[in-house]
Structure 1
Amino acid sequence: MQNLEWLLLLISIIYIGFNRPINLQLKKNYVIGLLVGVLLIHFLFNGYRWQMIPAYFLWVIALITAIKQSDRKPSMALKVLKIIGLTIVIILAVALPSLLPVFDLPEPRGEFTVGTKDILLELDRDELITADKNDKRSFMIKVWYPSKSMDGEKDLYVDQAGRNGFAVKYGLTPSMLNYLDKVDTHVFRDIEIADGTFPVLIFSHGYNSKANSYYALLSELASRGYVIFALNHTYESTGATFPNGDLKYFDYEFASQIESNTWHIMEPVVEAFKSDLSYEERHPIIKTGLTTYFVRGMVERWAEDIVDVVDELNQWNQEGFFQGKLDTSKVGVFGHSRGGGAAGESLLIDDRIKAGANVDGVQWGRIVDTAFDKPFLFISADWPEEKDDLNSHAYINKSTAVFYDTRILETGHSSFMDIPFMIPLEALSQAGSIDPTLGMEITSNMVASFFDKHLKSEPIDMKNLDKKYDMLRMNIYSGDSIP
């Protein structure tokens, strides 16, 4: 809760609970003036948000109590009912704005301020997800980039389609997310890009998520001197707002269609992990699952989107906003969850991409039969030992260059997103018990240091991160030391 929200709530509760002695000390007009004044100040500096409705209800009770100032004592039964009712409202008044707060995102720590810009990429290949055979693939890209300016409009947290899609996903109404307007993203729209040329990173989000859900991570990397093209995979993200006003959402019908009747492929995989099979005996079973389950097709589709962005980099560097700003010889790719799998897949199929990172995603597809030939970073959440470790088989050959296998303790799958800041309750956020700010610091330092070393060629010893953070576990495999 914000400070003025706490003040409004506390003053209302205190007056309701102690109105008789307060009335002996203060005149009615002073009490009413105080209550009205606090509400107006709250609206002026914080603004209305629906999470405060129970607190507003308490304020109304306090105001009515101040106006009436009745000396009549209620019966014991009525008094008990009032206490129970007020207790319930007070719990709601504290819980709602605390569970869904106007949250603080970490401020970028790099030398640059951060700008964002939206790009629509329209392609000449068929759109496979929609039923219309004339549809061509197109998707939105949100670019985070380094700047030296703060002379611009703050970027709103999550666009309208993203909010609408998020609301549908979690059974909310879109208006319940209007409070996100109050979140300071520390990012400015369409401000001037900094002087110089910058390495390029391409980012792929998680399934039924979107790039706007990763402000903390992406803005930190941009502040360290990277231009990040964050893809929004149309129909498989929560939603995308197009320049013409079209809103395109996650296609639940398509998702159900591609997943239908496929679980039988994974049942032997699950059983293999439950059995007493050795790693060698289990491997061919897991390999079949990794290469034939429906998610492989999704990862390959998303990797194609990534390659399409790489195709456009030279053109964007020759004209327009990013003219002369992109170092197209230094291109890296990374992603979260299934987007992490897509990042790894794109590294296998496009030689223009020089390094890749997978943040807590399963690496479905062809990797189980081959190895990366470029530097690769895998960051895992702190999964329990009983979880089926598919990547222990997917990454059996690791990389002929260098492979970093890392784990951040006490993290969950959503620790790498903004969710633990947005929903500060571990049971709901599924972000683990780690402090969200520390978790994001470790993650962003890991990703930044990896690309600083392998794209910028800076003399960085990655082992120093392992020493710096007690919550980090790291194994490094060079090409000549793969088990």
Structure 2
Amino acid sequence: MQDKEDEKCKSRMKRPVKVLLIFLLIAVAVGILFKFIMFPPYDAPAVSGNHKVLIKEYTWVDENRVEAFTDSGENRELTVKFWYPEEDGSYPLVIFSHGAFGVIDSNYSTCMELASNGYVVASIGHTYHAMYVKNVKGKVFLADKEFMQSVFVGNGRYDPELERQFYENSLAWMELRTGDENFVLDTILEKANKGEEDPFCLIDADKIGLMGHSMGGASSVALGRERTDIDAVIDLEGTMLGEYTGFENGIEIYNKEPYPVPVLDVFGARLYDEIKMPEDFEEKHHDWQYVNFYVGEHAADYMAVAFRDTGHLNFTDLPLASPLLAKLMGVGEVDAKSCMENVNAIVLEWFDHYLKGNSKLDIEPEY
């Protein structure tokens, strides 16, 4: 009798374990299915260069800045990812800055394309501006909620008060972003001058390009004006917020000094419709121009390239890595892969011309 009671007891004890295992298996299956749906395998754009590409990541602390997004009093920390040729040599340096809620790998294919063609590329994970950043110790930092809310102020419609608020927000964004880029660039150049390990000893410090998407494009343009060691800039779908110098009568005032560095302005053709203002605005500000086009008219060297049937995220790899997520956030009807192949090709051509001295630019005004 005792043996039968023991067997019944063991059987009852096994049931919760079996149920738990079933739930765990279901959870794992759902997780795998979710990952497959959100991030399915995809055919990435092929690189055109002959260099084998190596990748490294570093996390650096800026001892001169306190982290403004926390109350801990800690200094600001940034993680930087490098793509660079395996072969010894001297290569131009390109710094990449992602957009608001972007990630360090947002333009992975672009970085691979450049590195395969003989560039050292450094992508910055802007802590608390990125959707997430994982440092080299595995700690994850998520985007700051207040920052996320501030980006949507106005939401594309014109209102003088909202426009002023957006202007004030943009000053803070550009201060943080250019501070990040300055710190990373200065750190890289210091290590390059010391001849430290790859990739730093491979860098030609006399040939530097800046590139970014959206807010990262804006800060790259801003830094190109600030520094004297920048040779070329590429802005992918970024309103040039750093060119604002004031705010009067409901609109931003633009920097009247000609932009000093060759700048490639890449955007979706839909922009021509999006920048149209209400009739009463146009009557009051009849000479108003979109800031990027104003910069272009007064720049020493400027080229605009419009992509048809694109959305904001078509200038990143997200539509390839997660078509469903990208569709929810904004893409066009263009084929995502061919679009990024064209973007990567003109990015390479622009930098090859200004950083490597290739004699001819063959970039079309529209794709």
Q: Name the TM-score class by shorter chain.
A: 0.7 to 0.9
Residue pair 2:42, 2:321 contacting (<8 A) in 1 also: yes
CA–CA separation in structure 2 for the residues paired with 1:122 and 1:412: 35
String of CA shifts for 1:249-308, please: whole Å, max 9, x gaps: 11114544x5698889951399xxxxxxxxxxxxxxx8x788x34123202310111111
Give the counterpart of 1:392 among 290, 297, 321.
Answer: 290
CA–CA separation in structure 2 for the residues paired with 1:308 and 1:427: 34
Please report how far the alpha carbon of residue 103 of structure 1 lies from its aligned counterpart in structure 2 after TM superposition: 1.8
Greater RCO (CA < 8 Å, at least 6 residues apart): 2
Residue 371 of structure 1 corresponds to 258
Q: What SS class does the counterpart of residue 80 from structure 2 fall into? A: strand
Residue 12 of structure 2 corresponds to none
Residue 348 of structure 2 corresponds to 448
1:426-465 superposed matches below 5 A: 427-428=327-328, 430-461=330-361, 464-465=362-363
1:112-123 superposed matches below 5 A: 112-123=51-62
Larger Rg, first or second structure (1 or 2): 1
Is 1:330 aligned to 2:199, yes or no? no
Is 1:138 aligned to 2:60, yes or no? no
CA–CA separation in structure 2 for the residues paired with 1:423 and 1:261: 26
Residue 66 of structure 1 corresponds to none
Quickly say closer, same or farther: Cα 1:325–1:392, change in 2 above 3 A. Answer: same
Give the counterpart of 1:267 among 144, 149, 159.
Answer: 159
Aligned-partner residue type, residue 121 of structure 1: W
Quick check: which one's helix share is greater?
1
Percent of pairs with identical residues: 24
Aligned-partner residue type, residue 267 of structure 1: D
Residue 383 of structure 1 corresponds to 270
Please report how far the alpha carbon of residue 384 of structure 1 lies from its aligned counterpart in structure 2 after TM superposition: 5.5
Residue 15 of structure 2 corresponds to none
Q: Considering only aligned residues, what root-mean-square deviation do their CA atoms show, in Å?
A: 3.1
Aligned-partner residue type, residue 240 of structure 1: V
Residue pair 1:204, 1:336 contacting (<8 A) in 2 also: yes
Residue 309 of structure 1 corresponds to 184
Unaligned runs of 5+ in 1: 1-47, 55-95, 148-193, 271-285, 467-471, 475-483
Quickly say closer, same or farther: Cα 1:323–1:378, change in 2 above 3 A. Answer: closer
1:285-304 superposed matches below 5 A: 292-304=167-179
String of CA shifts for 1:321-349, please: whole Å, max 9, x gaps: 23431000001101001110010011011
Give the counterpart of 2:236 among 356, 359, 362.
Answer: 359
Unaligned runs of 5+ in 2: 1-27, 245-253, 277-287
Q: What SS class does the counterpart of residue 223 from structure 2 fall into? A: helix
Aligned-partner residue type, residue 129 of structure 2: E
Is 1:473 aligned to 2:366, yes or no? yes
Residue pair 2:219, 2:242 contacting (<8 A) in 1 also: no
* Stretch deviating more after TM superposition (400-409 or 324-333): 400-409
Number of residues of Structure 1 aligned to a counterpart in Structure 2: 315
Residue 23 of structure 1 corresponds to none
Residue pair 1:423, 1:429 contacting (<8 A) in 2 also: no
String of CA shifts for 1:73-115, please: whole Å, max 9, x gaps: xxxxxxxxxxxxxxxxxxxxxxx95675222212222111221
Give the counterpart of 2:300 among 385, 401, 406.
Answer: 401
String of CA shifts for 1:113-168, please: whole Å, max 9, x gaps: 22110011211122342332622111000111122xxxxxxxxxxxxxxxxxxxxx
Quickly say closer, same or farther: Cα 1:227–1:52, change in 2 above 3 A. Answer: closer
1:78-89 superposed matches below 5 A: none
1:176-325 superposed matches below 5 A: 194-256=87-149, 267-268=159-160, 292-317=167-192, 318-325=195-202
CA–CA separation in structure 1 for the residues paired with 2:30 and 2:156: 45
Residue pair 1:201, 1:332 contacting (<8 A) in 2 also: yes
CA–CA separation in structure 2 for the residues paired with 1:233 and 1:423: 21
Aligned-partner residue type, residue 207 of structure 1: A
